[in-house]
Structure 1
Amino acid sequence: MSFQNTLAYAQEQDHQDELRYFREHFHIPRHNGQDTVYLCGNSLGLQPKSARAALEEEMTKWAELGVEGHFTGDDPWFTYHKTLAAPTAKLVGAKPEEVVIMNQLTVNLHLMLVSFYRPQGQRYKILTEAGAFPSDQYALESQVKIHGYAPEDAIIEIAPRAGEHTWRTEDILQAIKDNGNEIALVLMGGLHYYTGQVFDMAAITQTAHEVGAVCGFDLAHAAGNVPMQLHDWDVDFAVWCTYKYLNSGPGGTSGVFVHERHAQNPELPRFAGWWGHDQRVRFKMQKGFIPMPGAEGWQLSNAQILPMAVHKASLAIFDEAGIENLRAKSEKLTGYLEFLINGLHQPKDQLEIITPADPAARGCQLSLLVNKNGRQLFDTLMANGFILDWREPNVIRVAPTPLYNTFEDVYRFGQFLAAHFQG
């Protein structure tokens, strides 16, 4: 695409954008009486204007019906989670019975590891990317310890090559092959939080299965950002949060994918809970856990109705916009951001994009490595109404999100950077 570094060009792109009206569905934070340039959807998505009404509806139901809200009215709480399955499945490329919304991200990751990290004999190791998000690191450390292994032995971390910031797919696949006889599980992020790199989940899954390992993904930064086909890729399981690109509120609920070949297997070991028990006999209060078929069989407790109500409101927006349409706009927005930053012609020791240049290998995020006075630049941007994300030791993450960001947002950010480096 041919870009131009002018306000007129940015405004014309916004005028031609068929998704531009979705911005009106969100509350945009203000700074000094003006809309901020909010480029932080990778950390916390903006509030849909429909979220308050969705919450009020459930609050009213609670006020007027009390406990009967579980069984009466529109979308009774007893089956509320089922209303989220179809739109969720569209987002991640799954069958509705393969997904469930429940708990929070790391809770769900632990539940999946209970079922899918089953070390035996020499096959006890977990392969993951070096520098994974800390919650994943901590979960893996604790899980291998529970099984009696030392993390430094049982966890294989694959790092980029010396002098490179991102991973080469062939290196990941080769590492799986080289350690194939010892690997029980491959667990990686679908999109690396620090660099913004999208991993080749299909190839990684295929290679893991070829060596006899299970394969799962943490999709915290991928869900609602990049289209996926988890079922067709044959992924064993995945987990994600909903408060980043899925705009479902701070600390919001989480999603789980379990491939149908596992989801329909009642003998698969798991931590059991009342809400995962066969709903036909749930209220008989009897011993003997019988899991619900599908991913629902991993539920533990009553559905979190209020967070789910917000998530339902957000999913309706995604359902209307379409993840493929959002991806097309995302590639243009992120490409425009890249064009403007490259146009600054800064030396790498001053400013460097460490996110892959290939649009297929990134989402709507560019990670800017700022080696000199990076924190000072970040603070200056924030003080001037640019809402971004800082990651130690020296990266500013910039995420132009297609649901509510504009080309003019990106242009204004580029202009501010240009003034900073020229000043």
Structure 2
Amino acid sequence: MTFEPTPDFAASLDAQDPLRDFRDRFHIPPAPDGSESIYLCGNSLGLLPKTARAAVEQEFQAWEQRAVEGHFHGASPWMHYHEMLAPAAARVVGAKPLEVVVMNNLTTNLHLLLISFYRPTATRYKVLMEGGAFPSDQYALESQVKLHGFAPDEAIVELLPRPGEHTLRTEDIEAKIQELGDSLATVLLGGINYYTGQVFDMAAITRAGHAVGATVGFDLAHAAGNIEMHLHDWDVDFACWCTYKYLNSGPGGTSGAFVHERFAYQFDLPRLAGWWGHDAKERFQMKKGFKPMPGAAGWQLANGQIFPMAIHQASLALVDEAGGMSALRRKSEQLTAYLEFLIRRLQLPATQLEIITPSEPAARGCQLSLLVHQNGRQLFDHLAAAGIVGDWREPNVIRLAPVPLYNSYRDVQRTGEVLAAWAKAE
């Protein structure tokens, strides 16, 4: 498609957009002038679905009218709430319902999974991760390797881009995995790097890791609800994700975990056990001796957080109603490409502003990271004053994420106008 920078062109794209009506299913925060803001910060916190209040109110009513019996009776018995969420959550990440469970928060799930899938020995103890990963991953891995008696500086190997580049090459990741060989216990990468917006080739990385005998997992915080994934088919060992970004399930909302089907009945796999992960048929017998549920549900510790899960159920229903991840991804690729077109047509020198997110659609989600070498904070404030909500990351990166469920082409076009006005003033 040949893009144009005009409001009429953006309006024509919006008129043809099969997802255009979903914008009205969300609450759009106001801009400083009282109009709707242009919200490009779904990579940090997604917007509130209008169905969320009713979903939570249903559970308030169940609590009010049934009290403890709400666990067993009513429209959505709490005893089985995680089971109701599994099919839709599995569709988001390309898994089987057996392989997915909604529980806890992301870092808790990451720790629970690392207990099972980081099993170092005296010779195979290293972990491979991307340099500058989100702090949750850094801190989790530091503590896990210490737990096993290793020094983080020796056990954790960080991947860094080539000099003069901002993103990692798949061949370099594969080469490092091969180089580490039988010293490598676990590979843990973000499915999408939070800072650059780069999508990693999870299938290729998983193959490379398995070829040297390592387990492979991904933190999908910025990937879930953003890109199409096929965790089962890619043979990924484990993964976890939050739901408050592209899945719009509320601040601090519940999280998801994936454990591949081949581990579903490996009940002797080391794990931290809890009551809710115990065999449901015997759970209320209150006996000693942990017998895990098959699949990812066997990693549960405690009963579900019903109110956050209710919001998540409402948000997952919107994803399904929109046609699933393939439909969202089609619009996402075009929205992001349009934003890239508008930024590049400013023809700013790389010494002033760079897009450090890859240009290839398959190598990015719906986020562009702008490395602003001069007056970056002033640009961020300029966008905010115009009602454009982005995300600032130290020392000088602005992240803009046009989300297909609620952003329009007019949002992106208007952002281009504001950026052009700033560039002209510069």
**Same fold (TM > 0.5):** yes
**Paired residue type of 2:13:** Q
Q: Contact conserved, 2:382 with 2:422, CA < 8 A, in 1? A: no
**Secondary structure at 2:187 match in 1:** strand
**Secondary structure at 2:307 match in 1:** helix
User: What is the alpha-carbon distance in structure 2 between the residues aligned to residue 82 and residue 294 of structure 1?
Assistant: 12
> How far apart are 1:158 and its partner, in Å?
0.6
**Paired residue type of 1:337:** L
Query: Over residues 336-382 of structure 1, what are the superposed CA-to-partner deviations in whole Å (9 max), with x where a residue is unaligned?
Result: 00000000000011111000010010000000000111011112211
User: What is the alpha-carbon distance in structure 1 between the residues aligned to residue 171 and residue 141 of structure 2?
Assistant: 24
Out of 382-391 and 404-413, give the one that drifted further: 382-391
**Among 395, 418, 421, the residue aligned to 1:419:** 421
**Secondary structure at 2:127 match in 1:** strand
> How far apart are 1:383 and its partner, in Å?
2.1
1:7 alignment partner in structure 2: 7
User: What is the alpha-carbon distance in structure 2 between the residues aligned to residue 383 and residue 296 of structure 1?
Assistant: 46
1:375 alignment partner in structure 2: 377
Tell me how many residue pairs correspond in the alignment. 423
**Secondary structure at 1:181 match in 2:** helix
1:267 alignment partner in structure 2: 268
Where does structure 2 lack aligned partners over 5 or more consecutive residues? none
**Paired residue type of 1:313:** A
**Paired residue type of 1:236:** D
User: What is the alpha-carbon distance in structure 1 between the residues aligned to residue 265 and residue 420 of structure 2?
Assistant: 55
> How far apart are 1:121 and its partner, in Å?
2.3
Query: Over residues 297-341 of structure 1, what are the superposed CA-to-partner deviations in whole Å (9 max), with x where a residue is unaligned?
Result: 000011000000000000000011111011000000000000000
TM-score (norm 2): 0.99
> How far apart are 1:263 and its partner, in Å?
2.2
> How far apart are 1:14 and its partner, in Å?
0.2
- Please give the residue correspondences for 1:107-186 in structure 2 after superposition, counting only pairs within 5 Å: 107-186=108-187
- Please give the residue correspondences for 1:61-140 in structure 2 after superposition, counting only pairs within 5 Å: 61-140=62-141
Q: Contact conserved, 2:128 with 2:187, CA < 8 A, in 1? A: yes
> How far apart are 1:144 and its partner, in Å?
0.3
> How far apart are 1:120 and its partner, in Å?
1.1
1:28 alignment partner in structure 2: 28
- Please give the residue correspondences for 1:22-61 in structure 2 after superposition, counting only pairs within 5 Å: 22-31=22-31, 32-61=33-62
Percent identity, please. Answer: 66
**Secondary structure at 1:216 match in 2:** strand
User: What is the alpha-carbon distance in structure 2 between the residues aligned to residue 55 and residue 90 of structure 1?
Assistant: 23
User: What is the alpha-carbon distance in structure 1 between the residues aligned to residue 38 and residue 191 of structure 2?
Assistant: 27
**Secondary structure at 2:209 match in 1:** helix
User: What is the alpha-carbon distance in structure 2 between the residues aligned to residue 180 and residue 263 of structure 1?
Assistant: 27
2:207 alignment partner in structure 1: 206
> How far apart are 1:163 and its partner, in Å?
0.5
Query: Over residues 51-90 of structure 1, what are the superposed CA-to-partner deviations in whole Å (9 max), with x where a residue is unaligned?
Result: 0000100001101110110001111000011110111111
1:407 alignment partner in structure 2: 409
Query: Over residues 252-297 of structure 1, what are the superposed CA-to-partner deviations in whole Å (9 max), with x where a residue is unaligned?
Result: 0000000011122111110000000011111111000000011000
**Paired residue type of 1:149:** F
2:328 alignment partner in structure 1: 326
User: What is the alpha-carbon distance in structure 2 between the residues aligned to residue 180 and residue 220 of structure 1?
Assistant: 28
1:292 alignment partner in structure 2: 293
User: What is the alpha-carbon distance in structure 2 between the residues aligned to residue 5 and residue 304 of structure 1?
Assistant: 46
Is 1:216 the counterpart of 2:217? The answer is yes
TM-score (norm 1): 0.99
Q: Contact conserved, 2:46 with 2:245, CA < 8 A, in 1? A: yes
User: What is the alpha-carbon distance in structure 2 between the residues aligned to residue 207 and residue 417 of structure 1?
Assistant: 42
2:247 alignment partner in structure 1: 246
User: What is the alpha-carbon distance in structure 2 between the residues aligned to residue 145 and residue 22 of structure 1?
Assistant: 47
User: What is the alpha-carbon distance in structure 2 between the residues aligned to residue 289 and residue 376 of structure 1?
Assistant: 57
- Please give the residue correspondences for 1:298-309 in structure 2 after superposition, counting only pairs within 5 Å: 298-309=299-310
2:387 alignment partner in structure 1: 385
